[in-house]
Amino acid sequence: MQPLTSPIHFHTAMIEQTPVAVFLGQEMIGSGKIVQITDYIVKIGNEFYVRDACTFKYAV
């Protein structure tokens, strides 16, 4: 799984509806398609994840 490391990765994944996986440390805590992005959070489905606290990776 390739990590999303720059803002363009997040926006491209949202526009293309590419599934992403969310990790906190080594544990996967969520997955799905990005619904909303801000400088601080990423919303996937109905869940909000703090960008600085989590690692986001392409799930495909």
Has residue 60 got a pLDDT over 90? no
Q: What is the Cβ-side half-sphere exposure of residue 50, based on CA atoms within 13 angstroms?
A: 4
Q: Where are the domains of the chain?
A: 7-58
pLDDT at 31 over 90: yes
Architecture of domain 7-58: Roll (2.30)
Average model confidence (pLDDT) for the chain?
96
- Is the pLDDT assigned to residue 43 strictly greater than 90? yes
Per-residue pLDDT at 1: 83
